[in-house]
């Protein structure tokens, strides 16, 4: 699993969902949780944390948000060399096949469909960690 | 119901259409809020009247019709649901409770939309708005709307409404 000092960025326009995800992360022992209410605020947060030497280690983002939706954030993240391999989990009520495919093509690390329970999110995090870790080992 | 059968028809006559919203409510409340619920009443109404203290409303936009999805809660019910959902007690309907109603509505709509668009509907993404206070909406010109009333299994005195309205033609 991701080290306990991993910094998470939770992106959702509903504070309730950010609170639910934060609670799951706290239960898993993660204290460093940043929040943003849409993609553009999340992008600013990613950049500022990077510049301050406290980089975000995992993004957990909603899809359907005003201003910049999660899918646009994902594309922007993948186009930037600083964040190209950053684990990015989409948590969304959008589960249509074409949307899942778009997210996969855009480089999403995993996809959690709402409604979900804490166990589902924990399992996805574990899976993303294993994949991310395997890629990092291969690259080394 | 296939794509050809769907186009031009009143979706309130499509069993799959209605079931997708009902399943959305059942799954969302059970999974997100740890609150199993059941239907205790449903009827087609023409006068579009909802009573409650807080409601999440999403505008339904398909290719050739519009409508609304409304999830309306009395205060007592929503405060119970939010406590189950967040593990926090709220004495009144505050901004956090309103936000949670928005998220619940969003999930119900997303669940139904995913099922329906795979069946040939073309529902667009929508953002919930929240209506607050003791309200009665009326004088809306839908051709019909379906009212489904749910009760919470753990305490059947706690009830809430799902209403789906249909308006033929675009606004």
**Residues B33, B85 contacting (CB under 8 angstroms):** yes
- Tell me the count of A-B CB pairs closer than 8 A: 63
B27: Cβ contacts below 8 Å, ≥ 6 apart: A115, B111
Nearest of B18, B31, B53 to residue B162 by alpha carbon: B18
Measure CB to CB from residue B127 to each of A16, A66, A117 and give the nearest one.
A66
Residues of B in contact with A95 (CB under 8 A): 110, 114
Q: Which single residue is written with the structure tokens 């205790």?
A: B40
Give the residue from chain B lying closest to A113, CA to CA: B111
**pLDDT tens digits, B54-91:** 999 999 988 878 888 999 999 999 999 999 999 999 99
% of chain B surpassing 90 pLDDT: 57
Residue A6's pLDDT is what?
Answer: 96
pLDDT range class, residue B13, cuts 50, 70, 90? confident
What pTM value is reported for the model?
0.89
Nearest of A130, A128, A114 to residue A20 by alpha carbon: A114
Measure CB to CB from residue B111 to each of A15, A64, A93 and give the nearest one.
A93
Q: Do B86 and A93 touch (CB under 8 A)?
A: no
pLDDT range class, residue B4, cuts 50, 70, 90? very low
CA angle B30, B31, B35 (to 5 degrees): 30
**pLDDT tens digits, B99-143:** 999 999 999 999 999 999 988 898 888 888 998 876 666 555 556
pLDDT at A7 over 90: yes
* Overall average pLDDT of the A104-121 stretch: 93
**Residues A91, A11 contacting (CB under 8 angstroms):** no
Q: Do A93 and B114 touch (CB under 8 A)?
A: yes
The alpha carbon of residue A117 is apart from the nearest alpha carbon of chain B, in Å, by: 6
Residue B138's pLDDT is what?
Answer: 57
* Overall average pLDDT of the A108-120 stretch: 93
Give residue ranges of A with CB < 8 Å to any B CB.
13-17, 19-20, 23, 64, 66, 92-97, 113-117
Q: How far apart are CA A80 and CA A82, in angstroms?
A: 5
* Overall average pLDDT of the A99-116 stretch: 93
Measure CB to CB from residue A94 to each of B32, B99, B114 and give the nearest one.
B114
Average pLDDT, chain B: 86
Residues of B in contact with A114 (CB under 8 A): 28, 32, 107, 110-111
Q: What is the ipTM of this complex?
A: 0.86
Give the residue from chain A lying closest to B121, CA to CA: A96
Q: How far is CA B50 from CA A80, A118, B69, B139, B150, in A?
A: 49, 33, 12, 12, 14
Which of the pair, A105 or B13, is modelled with greater confidence?
A105
Q: Do A96 and B87 touch (CB under 8 A)?
A: no
Q: How far apart are CA B35 and CA A116, in angstroms?
A: 13
% of chain B surpassing 70 pLDDT: 85
């Amino acid at each position: 699993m991701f080290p306990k000092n991993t910094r998470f960025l939770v992106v959702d326009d509903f504070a309730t969902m950010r609170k639910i995800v934060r609670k799951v992360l706290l239960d898993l022992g993660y204290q460093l949780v940043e929040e943003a209410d849409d993609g553009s605020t999340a992008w600013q947060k990613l950049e500022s944390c990077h510049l301050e030497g406290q980089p975000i280690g995992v993004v957990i983002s909603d899809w359907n948000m005003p201003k910049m939706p999660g899918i646009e954030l994902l594309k922007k993240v993948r186009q930037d060399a600083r964040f190209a391999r950053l684990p990015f989990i989409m948590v969304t009520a959008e589960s249509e096949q074409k949307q899942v495919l778009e997210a996969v093509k855009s480089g999403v690390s995993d996809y959690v469909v709402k409604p979900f329970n804490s166990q589902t999110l924990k399992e996805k995090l574990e899976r993303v960690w294993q994949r991310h870790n395997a890629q990092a080992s291969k690259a080394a | 119901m296939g794509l050809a059968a769907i186009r031009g028809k009143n979706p309130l006559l499509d069993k799959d259409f209605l079931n997708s919203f009902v399943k959305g409510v059942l799954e969302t409340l059970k999974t997100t809020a740890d609150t199993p619920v059941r239907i205790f009443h449903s009827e087609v109404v023409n006068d579009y009247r909802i009573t409650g203290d807080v409601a999440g409303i999403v505008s339904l936009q398909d290719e050739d019709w519009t409508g609304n999805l409304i999830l309306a809660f009395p205060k007592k019910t929503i405060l119970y649901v939010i406590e189950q959902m967040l593990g926090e007690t709220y004495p009144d309907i505050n901004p956090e409770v309103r936000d949670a109603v928005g998220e619940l509505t969003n999930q119900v709509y997303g669940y139904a939309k995913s099922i329906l668009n795979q069946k040939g509907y073309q529902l667009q993404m929508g953002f919930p708005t929240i209506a607050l206070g003791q309200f009665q909406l009326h004088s809306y010109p839908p051709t019909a709307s379906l009212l489904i009333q749910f009760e919470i299994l753990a305490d059947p005195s706690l009830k809430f409404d799902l209403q789906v309205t249909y308006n033929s033609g675009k606004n």
